[in-house]
Amino acid sequence: MYLIHNGVAVIQLDHPPVNSLGHALRKTIHTAVVAAQADSGVCALVLIGSDKAFSAGADVSEFGKPEQAAFPLITDVFARIDACTKPVVAAISGVALGGGLELALSCHARVALASAKLGLPEITLGLIPGAGGTQRLPRLIGVAAAYAMMQSGAAQTAQQLEASGLLNRVVERDVLAAALALALELGHGGEALPRARDRQPDATAARAFIEAQRARLTPRQRQLPANMALLDALEASTDTDFDAGLKTERSLFLGLLGSTSAKALRYQFFAEREAVKLPATLQAVPKSFETLGIVGAGTMGSGIAICALDAGLRVILLEQDAAALQRGCLRIADHYAARVTAGKMKASVAALSEARLTPTTDWTLFSRVDLVIEAVFEDLAVKQDVFRKIDAHTRAGAVLASNTSYLDVDAIANATKRPQDVLGLHFFSPAHVMKLLEVVRGTQTAPEVLATGMALGRALKKTPVPTGNAFGFIGNRIYNAYRKQCEFMLEDGAWPEEVDAALEDFGFAMGPFKVADLSGLDIAWRMRQAQASSRDPRERYVDILDALCAQGRLGRKTGAGYYTYTDGKAGKTTDALVRQVIEAASSRRGITRRPLLPEQIQRRALLAMVNEAALLLAEGVASRASDVDVVLVQGYGFARWQGGPLFWAQQQDRATLQTDLQQLARQSGWGFVLADLEPLLPTSGATL
């Protein structure tokens, strides 16, 4: 149960991989503390975890299940520590997150390795700390610092927190020895340390701070109930009665636990961890890689180079001419200079990253690369030509990837003599910022090549999601269906700003017409022109975008698209000229325009996404429903706290959903393929 070192009971938390505080571990800690309290041979206690984790907090998979409510609750364990008359010291290495940090806060003292990461990330799960964090932390580090930590959910290192008042000692090595020394000191009558609960809050200043923060919450922040609840819990911490504050915190926490946003965020937490694993039938051992070859140093190539350099990989960056190469290198150098100036990266670390870069126009250097990522223009002939060169210059067994957004990966692979080594790696822009990476399996892609793509994604700290080779893969195909439906709604009677506002109210980071203006309407225009000859005339085709482009309105970059921009800012409403274009499109189709309510707009847009997602799953392009939701949230601005389109569908009334989808099919006209949603919807009585 515990080992005794010189009269100090050392309680080891041993629940791999991250010491989440599930029922069994709670019971172990509780029993050990009770025993150590009663043991006359023990003068003090030390709680210690593993090198990886002191504790990652409450076991999220227990939420909503009977184990969560079984004795001892997390609060029972902490109350037991609180009531212990012998000093209890937390020895923190690895991570102390959420309930894990709250466990440390309930101890009399905390000793941490400088590298340990501490944080209260409950807000990222739509919750607030529910085991004393909102009450103890402000008493230790002040209300403003505590709020910053809980509101961002971000972890900080012990080194960063050294002067905050949260930690008693920060050490470079041997945290157990340091914790034992402090425990012995305290256990043998050293100066008594006041527990967090015994400290008095600075109530007046804290209340003023909390009031000011309430007023500052943006409408978007108010969409997540946890943001308000956090301030309510902090307000309770200004009460001198600590236990009353704890009760308020607990009831706010329990109230949030069943909210849709908390369910959605929990779902995303597990969906992200599932997405990065290949389904069992596709698993294989990845190849190793140290040197990456990147072809094309444009927007994407330079962004991909930055994340590879930051991950410690060597990069050979190839361009077609010296001028283009210089532009790419400048982009990379500017990025590092800006990071250093902003204090986000040490100059020495930036220099090391940059030193791993070899810019070149010489293909023969590619004999050294383990993995190639092509990021040249989105043109099949150009890409095929580049892949022939890659084939000629890379060693046998190297993995060859294309960053194409829409093109057929098989057509690219077949330009080489080794299609089994080719796959798609679809990064998102900006590539060094966006977490999503679609890993595209071509018809002939070998399992270990696919596994290498996934492993590269993880090495680059991305969320790699496996997808089949279909036009637009998962994300762009669903986004196209959504955007198309939004264009139908323009013809049916809505204005762009109404569609954008309704979808932003739902939680999208930006409405579809603002996104289109930002990316430039000409990209879609060119693609539509390329597809014109193969388009079936019976298809409902909205030509508003084409008409805008024909008038030179290419989006924000030309000062006008769906919106008109003044000093880069969009007007609140679309102007008369755009409305005329839209009205003309409606009348050409013989539509009498009728206004659409925000809920109708949201529902149609979401149903279009759900339908397309169901088709992708039926075709085997997406492996798991949860993968689709991860893609939409991480790559397309779908609000994380709404869970993703399929999570949304699973919350809807089944019969209404089916009826509405039939109606959507009628509204969308010829060419709309109605999917079978049945396999995606939970069986009755099941909960997520």
What does 642 bind: ligand 3HC, ligand NAI, none (CB cut-off 5 to 8 Å by kind)? Answer: none
Residue 443 and residue 423: Cα distance in Å, rounded?
Answer: 9
Interacting residues with ligand NAI between 409 and 468 (CB under 6 A): 427-429
Query: Interface with ligand NAI includes 405 (CB under 6 A)?
Result: yes
Query: Interface with ligand 3HC includes 125 (CB under 6 A)?
Result: yes
Residue 316 and residue 295: Cα distance in Å, rounded?
Answer: 9
Query: Interface with ligand 3HC includes 57 (CB under 6 A)?
Result: yes
Query: Interface with ligand NAI includes 300 (CB under 6 A)?
Result: yes
Choosing from 48, 111, 131, 675, the residue that interacts with ligand 3HC (CB under 6 A) is 131
In the complex with ligand NAI, the residue whose CB is nearer, 476 or 574, is: 476
Query: Interface with ligand 3HC includes 58 (CB under 6 A)?
Result: yes
- Please choose, out of 40-48, 52-60, 202-210, 564-572, the segment that lies near ligand 3HC by the rule CB under 6 A: 52-60
Query: Interface with ligand NAI includes 403 (CB under 6 A)?
Result: yes
Q: Which amino acid would we find at residue 42?
A: V
Query: Interface with ligand NAI includes 274 (CB under 6 A)?
Result: no
* Token pair of 121 as six digits: 């990330």
71: exposed, middle or buried (Cβ count in 10 Å: 0-12, 13-18, 19+): exposed
* Token pair of 316 as six digits: 């050979």
In the complex with ligand 3HC, the residue whose CB is nearer, 272 or 612, is: 272
Interacting residues with ligand 3HC between 6 and 25 (CB under 6 A): 17-18, 20
Residue 30 and residue 80: Cα distance in Å, rounded?
Answer: 7
Residue in the structure block whose two tokens are 């515990």 = 2
Q: In the bound complex, what is the minimum distance in angstroms from residue 45's beta carbon to ligand 3HC?
A: 21
In the complex with ligand 3HC, the residue whose CB is nearer, 275 or 521, is: 275
Mode of pairing for the β-strands spanning 371-374 and 156-157: unpaired
What does 296 bind: ligand 3HC, ligand NAI, none (CB cut-off 5 to 8 Å by kind)? Answer: ligand NAI
Residue 528 and residue 178: Cα distance in Å, rounded?
Answer: 67
Report CA dihedral (405, 434, 568, 343) to the nearest 10 degrees: -150
Choosing from 82, 102, 421, 612, the residue that interacts with ligand 3HC (CB under 6 A) is 102
Which segments of 636-670 does DSSP mark as H helices, in order?
645-651, 654-668
Binding mask 132-171 for ligand 3HC (x = CB under 6 A): -x--------------------------------------
Bridge partners of residue 569, in order along the sequence: 566
Query: Interface with ligand NAI includes 104 (CB under 6 A)?
Result: no
Residue 430 and residue 622: Cα distance in Å, rounded?
Answer: 24
Interacting residues with ligand 3HC between 257 and 296 (CB under 6 A): 273
Give the angle 448-453-454 at the CA atoms, nearest 5°. Answer: 95
Cβ-based neighbour number of residue 541 at 10 Å? 17
Interacting residues with ligand 3HC between 105 and 124 (CB under 6 A): 121-122
What does 324 bind: ligand NAI, ligand 3HC, none (CB cut-off 5 to 8 Å by kind)? Answer: ligand NAI
In the complex with ligand 3HC, the residue whose CB is nearer, 98 or 293, is: 98
Residue 517 and residue 62: Cα distance in Å, rounded?
Answer: 44
Interacting residues with ligand NAI between 547 and 606 (CB under 6 A): none
Per-residue DSSP letter, 443:
T
Mode of pairing for the β-strands spanning 53-55 and 8-12: unpaired
Q: Is residue 122 annotated as part of the catalytic site, yes or no?
A: yes
Cβ-based neighbour number of residue 552 at 10 Å? 9
Binding mask 379-398 for ligand NAI (x = CB under 6 A): ---x---x------------
Q: In the bound complex, what is the minimum distance in angstroms from residue 159's beta carbon to ligand 3HC?
A: 17
Q: In the bound complex, what is the minimum distance in angstroms from residue 406's beta carbon to ligand NAI?
A: 7
Choosing from 56, 265, 399, 412, the residue that interacts with ligand 3HC (CB under 6 A) is 56
Interacting residues with ligand 3HC between 61 and 90 (CB under 6 A): 61, 74
**Closest residue to ligand NAI using C-beta atoms:** 298
- Please choose, out of 50-58, 381-389, 561-569, 614-622, the segment that lies near ligand 3HC by the rule CB under 6 A: 50-58
Residue 589 and residue 581: Cα distance in Å, rounded?
Answer: 13
In the complex with ligand 3HC, the residue whose CB is nearer, 455 or 578, is: 455
Choosing from 154, 324, 333, 337, the residue that interacts with ligand NAI (CB under 6 A) is 324
Q: Is residue 249 annotated as part of the catalytic site, yes or no?
A: no
Marked catalytic residue, from 62, 67, 122, 378: 122
Bridge partners of residue 88, in order along the sequence: 45
Do the Cβ atoms of 452 and 285 come closer than 8 Å?
Answer: no
- Please choose, out of 13-21, 29-37, 77-85, 318-326, the segment that lies near ligand NAI by the rule CB under 6 A: 318-326
Query: Interface with ligand NAI includes 326 (CB under 6 A)?
Result: no
User: What is the size of the binding site for ligand NAI (CB under 6 A)?
Assistant: 23
Kind plus residue range of the DSSP H or E element containing 316? strand 314-318
Binding mask 364-383 for ligand 3HC (x = CB under 6 A): --------------------
In the complex with ligand NAI, the residue whose CB is nearer, 375 or 503, is: 375
In three-state form (DSSP H/G/I as H, E/B as E, the rest C), the secondary structure along 379-426 is CHHHHHHHHHHHHHHCCCCCEEEECCCCCCHHHHHCCCCCHHHEEEEE
* Token pair of 249 as six digits: 């915190």
What does 59 bind: ligand 3HC, ligand NAI, none (CB cut-off 5 to 8 Å by kind)? Answer: ligand 3HC
Residue 247 and residue 268: Cα distance in Å, rounded?
Answer: 29
Q: In the bound complex, what is the minimum distance in angstroms from residue 507's beta carbon to ligand 3HC?
A: 21
**Closest residue to ligand 3HC using C-beta atoms:** 98
Q: E-strand spans in 38-135?
A: 44-48, 53-55, 88-92, 95-97, 109-113, 117-119
Kindly give, in sequence order, each residue whose CB lies less than 8 Å from that of residue 79, ignoring residues fewer than 6 positions away. Answer: none
* Token pair of 256 as six digits: 């949030």
Query: Interface with ligand 3HC includes 178 (CB under 6 A)?
Result: no
Q: E-strand spans in 56-154?
A: 88-92, 95-97, 109-113, 117-119
Choosing from 91, 97, 560, 625, the residue that interacts with ligand 3HC (CB under 6 A) is 97
In the complex with ligand 3HC, the residue whose CB is nearer, 451 or 470, is: 451
Marked catalytic residue, from 67, 102, 274, 354: 102
SS3 label, residue 64: coil
Q: In the bound complex, what is the minimum distance in angstroms from residue 303's beta carbon to ligand NAI?
A: 8
Q: E-strand spans in 71-192?
A: 88-92, 95-97, 109-113, 117-119, 156-157, 169-171
Q: In the bound complex, what is the minimum distance in angstroms from residue 498's beta carbon to ligand 3HC?
A: 37
Kind plus residue range of the DSSP H or E element containing 178? helix 175-187
In the complex with ligand 3HC, the residue whose CB is nearer, 68 or 444, is: 68
Kindly give, in sequence order, each residue whose CB lies less than 8 Å from that of residue 119, ignoring residues fewer than 6 positions away. Answer: 95, 96, 97, 98, 101, 149, 153, 154, 155, 156
Q: In the bound complex, what is the minimum distance in angstroms from residue 461's beta carbon to ligand NAI?
A: 18
- Residues of this chain that interact with ligand NAI (CB under 6 A) are 295-301, 318-320, 324, 375-378, 382, 386, 403-405, 427-429
- Residues of this chain that interact with ligand 3HC (CB under 6 A) are 17-18, 20, 53, 56-61, 74, 95, 97-99, 102, 121-122, 125, 129-131, 133, 273
User: Catalytic site residues?
Assistant: 102, 122
